[in-house]
Amino acid sequence: MNGKAQDMQASNEPEARMAAGGGVPVGAGAMPVPGGGEGAGVVPGGAAIAGAVRSTGNVPDARTAGAAGAAKAETGSVLLSIRGASYRYADAAPGEYALKDVSHDFAGGKVYAIRGRSGAGKTTMLALISGLERCTEGSVVFDGRDLKDLNLDRYRSRDIGIVFQSYNLLPYLTVVENIILSMDISGAKIADKKAEALRLMRSVGLKDAYADRKVLRISGGEQQRVAIARSLSYNPKMIVADEPTGNLDKETEADILDILRRLAHEEGKCVIIVTHSPNVCDMADEVFDLQ
Ligand SMILES: Nc1ncnc2c1ncn2[C@@H]1O[C@H](COP(=O)(O)OP(=O)(O)O)[C@@H](O)[C@H]1O
Ligand SMILES: [Mg+2]
């Protein structure tokens, strides 16, 4: 089996890119490089085929807590569609695909788990969804617009929030500075950024006392809360997370999953989580199996 150490290595890669000032927007474009340190060599010729979908029936019906939730959410309408998407690396053998002919619709107000063995193409799928990579064949359509027609930097820094297994915060900045930096990159018009950052912190269960603490001095679970707050800083309609609870203990995992579920069910966001964790699959409204 592929170990956690390798997964961590894979998702540390964007951290290195950000630290090196690679021009990747914080909380936005940084995405683990598909297969980085994880898939390669594990599944030779690993071609992923279109996944099977299981609905867990977790979506509360007629939910949407009143008009406010419904207005924000447009719960149930398709936000992102993957249509016949395939991806193959330039150096892949003929016929070898990292992702092969995947189609699926993702709606607001729901939590999706993408599940599959190591090398199945999960990170590749998230990279296509987040616009870090372009499909070799097929398309990804967000809010009615094909990603190939969009400015992807803008898409990543405004329309979609990204959460990583290893948090990928800037450790020498404070909690509030990490969140405000992401607001600045997005160009979102926010009158009082510090007040908004504090509001976001509270929404993920972080006390105000943490605001001016350097990120390297808080726990992993707290860092993941900050990372979620950061991903919400420009109020995206969609949150994607690559193994967001992979480094956390069970109790902290439950807290983080609660936050993600609330974002979908109460705020109408489309939440997509790549995972190995049965707990994530259990709480998801829909499980998409990449085989
Ligand atoms: N840079 C690359 N060059 C060639 N093949 C790659 C590269 N990165 C990943 N792959 C292959 O693509 C497949 C999917 O990788 P990935 O999306 O990282 O899977 P997962 O996240 O499910 O573990 C794997 O078979 C992997 O070996
Ligand atoms: Mg992966």
Which CATH code fits 47-57+66-168+236-289? 3.40.50.300
**Whole-number pLDDT of residue 291:** 82
Ligand 1: centre distance to CA 91 (Å): 11
Alpha carbons 234 and 187: distance in angstroms, whole number? 8
Q: 116 CB less than 6 Å from ligand 1?
A: yes
pLDDT digits (tens, 9 = 90+) for 16-53: 333 222 233 334 334 444 444 333 222 223 333 445 66
Which tokens in the block code for residue 165? Answer: 């297994």
**Whole-number pLDDT of residue 51:** 53
Q: 43 CB less than 6 Å from ligand 1?
A: yes
Averages of pLDDT over each 10 residues, the chain, 291 residues: 34 32 36 39 33 60 36 69 95 92 97 95 95 95 96 94 94 97 94 97 96 97 97 96 94 96 97 94 96 82
**Whole-number pLDDT of residue 53:** 67
From the CA of 34, the nearest ligand is 1
**Whole-number pLDDT of residue 180:** 97
CB 244 within 8 A of CB 256: yes
**Whole-number pLDDT of residue 20:** 28
- Antiparallel, parallel or unpaired: β 286-289 and 52-55: antiparallel
Pocket residue to mutate for ligand 1, from 31, 82, 89, 274, most atoms within 8 A of Cβ: 89
From the CA of 33, the nearest ligand is 1
Nearest CA to ligand 1 atom 6: 35
Q: 126 CB less than 6 Å from ligand 1?
A: no
Residues with CB in 5 Å of ion ligand 2: 122-123
Nearest to residue 56, comparing CAs of 291, 288, 285? 285
Query: What sign does the dihedral 59-65-66-68 (CA atoms) show?
Result: negative
Please indicate, yes or no, whether the overall pTM of this predicted structure exceeds 0.75. yes
Q: 32 CB less than 6 Å from ligand 1?
A: no
**Whole-number pLDDT of residue 243:** 94
pLDDT digits (tens, 9 = 90+) for 180-218: 999 999 999 999 999 999 999 999 999 999 999 999 999
**Whole-number pLDDT of residue 227:** 97
CB 274 within 8 A of CB 123: yes
Alpha carbons 120 and 125: distance in angstroms, whole number? 9
**Whole-number pLDDT of residue 41:** 27
**Whole-number pLDDT of residue 176:** 98
CB 272 within 8 A of CB 129: yes
Q: 108 CB less than 6 Å from ligand 1?
A: no
